[in-house]
Amino acid sequence: MILSQETFHKLDPSDMRGTIRGFFEQVEEAVVIGRKCKAPAIGKNITNIVLTGMGGSAIGADLLRTYLSKQLRVPFIVNRHYTLPSFVDKNSLVLISSYSGNTEETLEAYEDAVRRKANIFCISSGGEVAKKAGSLKHPFILIPGGLQPRAALGYSFFPLLYAMGKMGLIEVDENEISETITVLKTLSGEAIDISDKNLPYSIAKQLHDKIVVIWSSSDLFEAVGVRWRGQMNENAKNMAYSGTFPELNHNEIVGWEHPHTSLKSMVIVILRDRDDHPRVVQRISITKDVLKGIPHGFIEIPPRGESRLARMFSVIHLGDWVSYYLAMLNDTDPTPVERIGHLKNELERVR
138 is catalytic: no
- E strand or H helix that includes residue 269: strand 266-271
Q: Which candidate in 10, 81, 344, 346 is catalytic?
A: 344
Q: How far apart are the first and last CA of the chain?
A: 44
264 is catalytic: no
Q: Which candidate in 179, 234, 237, 317 is catalytic?
A: 234
DSSP one-letter code for 150: G
Q: Which candidate in 38, 44, 197, 250 is catalytic?
A: 250
CA distances 135 to 55, 105, 131, 139, 209, Å, are 26, 20, 6, 11, 50
d(CA 174, CA 68): 14
Tell me the chain's radius of gyration from C-alpha atoms: 20
d(CA 167, CA 154): 20
Task: Tell me the HSE value of 331 on the side-chain side, using a 13 A CA sphere.
Answer: 3
CA distances 2 to 5, 211, 331, Å, are 10, 21, 11
d(CA 162, CA 345): 35
237 is catalytic: no
d(CA 104, CA 98): 9
> CB burial class (10 A; 0-12, 13-18, 19+) of residue 92?
buried
The residues carrying an active-site annotation are: 234, 250, 344
